[in-house]
Amino acid sequence: MATDTAAKNNAEDQVDPDLLVVRSKSERRRLDRQKALPTWGESVEQTRARRTRLVKQLAVQAGFSRVGIAAAQALPDHQTTLQAWIDRGMHGEMAWMASEVGRRCDPGQVVAGAQSVVLLALDYDTGQPRTRDLDLQGQDRVWISRYAWGDDYHVVAERRLKRLEDAVTAALKQELGDSFRGPAGPVRPFAAVRDFRWYVDHGPLLERVWAQRAGLGWQGRHSLLVDPRRGSYFFLAAVVTSVALDPDEPMADHCGSCRACVDACPTGAILADRLVDARKCISHATIEVDGPVTPEIRALAGDHLFGCDLCQEACPFNRFSQPCGDPAFEPRPGLLAPTRPEVRAWAELGGDAHLAGSPLRRRGVDALAQLASQDAAEPIAR
């Protein structure tokens, strides 16, 4: 008898309390919709953790190598450093760096109510020879930075970001619904164009700063991001979102007393405090400077046609770099240390159309041919 009474009491304790409340039909429908959402029964922390796992999983499925997350917040110290670098003219011909300085250091000015910055790494090393592995001078060859051997990474990354955006929108649309509220905005429907905005280089973000805060690496003395297990041969993309996600731990600096990259730079472009003077940088001279190739640029470039990898190749952490296996970044025919006559012949092969889909098209065949001309300055001593 006692057992039957206990079972009855236990059954009554398990009755859904919602069934004991008298509700209108519309209220019951609203409650049913809420119970059908993944968020039903979750705490705020559980919801955020689940969404974080989801975004990371979808990022890898979209084709990115690694993903990290940082909390969106203003970075006034970095803004001060950036402005001082610009005021000294160290941004060279990159005029866009001098605009929107405040936005670059405050995601809240990029996305209203921003809560998270998602950083995505895309490996591009192919395992091909390094600059020092080839006798460029002896074979009358010029060097193209390894990141530019294959397809334009802007296009590759943007396609994968679009896949990520579509996947995240499809996965979260139901639970965010028409009543999504950022922390500083009115109730509104979730929309990727304003709540999940992504960039590859062209956006007002300091990707390397955010990537270090997201745990993807640290900024080496050459200012590039370094992963202790993979080196520095990877691109960065970023997403600023008003969706709350769990941040990762920032990466500690592991450069120590090493100055390999500083010593490897033949033009002395790498300065103290992780600063690079673009006006002395070979990559800046061969990529960012528009117009005709001046004698000064040719002398600075030496046997470099497009970009420079010397500071990265000197970094001891790039000993751990592994081929990414991504066909998009495998060298196109003729782009791995071409001869000077081969470069000059590109114009006869169809002009800029010959470089369709390549990062080199940004510079154009005429400028590349000038850099590869026979009267080029002596290669820079290393």
Instruction: For residues 233 and 225, give the distance between their C-alpha atoms in angstroms, rounded to a whole number.
Output: 9
Q: Which two tokens stand for residue 356?
A: 């369709």
Tens-digit pLDDT profile for residues 52-84? 999 999 999 999 999 999 999 999 999 999 999
Instruction: For residues 86 and 261, give the distance between their C-alpha atoms in angstroms, rounded to a whole number.
Output: 23
Number of helices (H) and strands (E) in the chain: give both, helices first.
Answer: 14, 8
The pLDDT of residue 261 is above 70: yes
Instruction: For residues 84 and 69, give the distance between their C-alpha atoms in angstroms, rounded to a whole number.
Output: 28
Residues in Cβ contact with 124 at an 8 Å cutoff, skipping those fewer than 6 apart: 146, 147, 150, 153, 233, 234, 235, 324, 326, 329
Please give the pLDDT value at position 179.
73
Q: How confident is the model at residue 381 (pLDDT cuts 50, 70, 90)?
A: very low
- 3-state SS string over 314-380? HCHHHHHCCCCCCHHHCCCCCCCCCEHHHHHHHHHHCHHHHHCCCHHHHCCHHHHHHHCCCCCCCCC
The pLDDT of residue 380 is above 50: no
The pLDDT of residue 325 is above 50: yes
Residues in Cβ contact with 169 at an 8 Å cutoff, skipping those fewer than 6 apart: 190, 192, 196
Name which of 218-222, 235-239, 303-307 the model is least confident about. 303-307
Tens-digit pLDDT profile for residues 264-318? 999 999 998 889 999 999 999 999 988 777 788 778 888 899 999 999 999 999 9
Q: State the catalytic residues.
A: 201
Instruction: For residues 346 and 365, give the distance between their C-alpha atoms in angstroms, rounded to a whole number.
Output: 7
The pLDDT of residue 245 is above 90: yes
- Name the more confident of 124 and 178: 124
Find out whether 190 and 172 touch, Cβ atoms under 8 Å. Answer: yes
